[in-house]
Amino acid sequence: MKSSNGLYFSRLDHIRALAAYLVFVWHFTHLTNQFPVPFSAVPPFPFALLDEGHVGVGLFMTLSGYLFAKLVNGQAINYPAFLWSRAVRLVPLLAASLAAWYLLGKLHIGPPIDFSQIWRGVLLPTLPNGAWSITIEFQFYLLFPYLLALSNRFGLHALLIGICLSLCLRALLWLRYGEVQLVAYWTIVGAIDQFLMGMFFATAGLGAKARRVVAFTCGLLFLMFWQVFDAEGGFFYLDGAYPSPSALWIVIPSIQAVAFGSFIAWYDNSGISFPPKLDLCLRKIGEWSYSIYLLHFFLREVLIFLIKDRAGQDANFWWALPAATVLFAAFAPVAGLSYEFFEKPLLRLRTAYIVRSKKGSAALHTH
């Protein structure tokens, strides 16, 4: 979360670490449908947040909207330079991961990957092993300058209207097709709520007390809602089917957006401090989170192969969660090597994209 001129938002790196942890735990406590934790299992409140840890993707997306709105802060941006900087940040590791997954599939190590999944993934959520969400990120980057211009001209109402429009679109799709989970989770039709709400909370200018009240209220209500969501079947079994016919998927992206946006705004501006070593650890994990997100799928395939004969045995959330947490702590430094020696050297290719304001403030580019 560091810009080229030295701006650094350490608490946002903490949130990136949390998002990476949620996704990691989701994938390693549910290696198969039944092991280590069956999808039908429901841990007590508030552990549904971890049992349904796919919400980490929504947290990442809300954070993207928040971060870029915070960095730009109402200034103009150079559109080509913005897209170039984002491509330099994300494409190299993505391309290397896709190439590795494709080759491993050809060698019958891991599931086969059709080349069409890759080229269609430029526009559709077909990229394998979590990379589909990078497609949505880039679609947001394409829209961001226009969303920024609308919010600068018409105020925060434009962002809220955008969320209302996406809600209406999902409602129409649900009425037409009888389900909306696929577009709500896997496409920008759902994720746009999270980007927009991140932008909203970055620029809303709420006072410290208002941020605390909103974050606490929305956070508690979301945890309660997510507990019920998990108990009613969760991601794969809500209303007994996947994709789920439940109308809840019309509003789930919006619910997540409000909860995550309010939490990010509060935490970013809070006075919370940690011991220096713990703070450094969280900042580093946040810095490495992109590598953690893409590369942990390789480790997951290895573990799935190792436990294939134990599926359904000794299923228990209370040993699976600590085991996944230890594995996360062990894997993070491996991802750190990827960041330090592969991602970081390429970051010097970025260019500044925020246009110098009339007041003479320095141009920035992102983390």
Bridge partner residues of 8 (DSSP) = 2
Work out the average pLDDT over 36-61. Answer: 95
In the chain, % of residues over pLDDT 90: 78
Q: Do 315 and 38 contact (CB within 8 A), yes or no?
A: yes
In the chain, % of residues over pLDDT 70: 92
Residue 324 has pLDDT above 60, yes or no: yes
Work out the average pLDDT over 35-62. Answer: 95
* Window from 38-52, 284-298, 300-314, 321-335 with minimum mean pLDDT: 300-314
Residue with tokens 């449908």: 33
| Distance (Å) of CA 8 to CA 22, 146, 307, 356 | 23, 26, 42, 19
Residue 232 has pLDDT above 70, yes or no: yes
pLDDT at 365: 38
Is 69 in a helix, a strand, or coil?
A: helix
Q: pLDDT tens digits for 71-105?
A: 998 888 899 999 999 999 999 999 999 999 999 98
CA dihedral 144→150→156→157, nearest 10 degrees, is -120
Residue 12 has pLDDT above 90, yes or no: yes
CA angle 220, 224, 225 (to 5 degrees): 115
Q: How far apart are CA 243 and CA 228, in angstroms?
A: 18
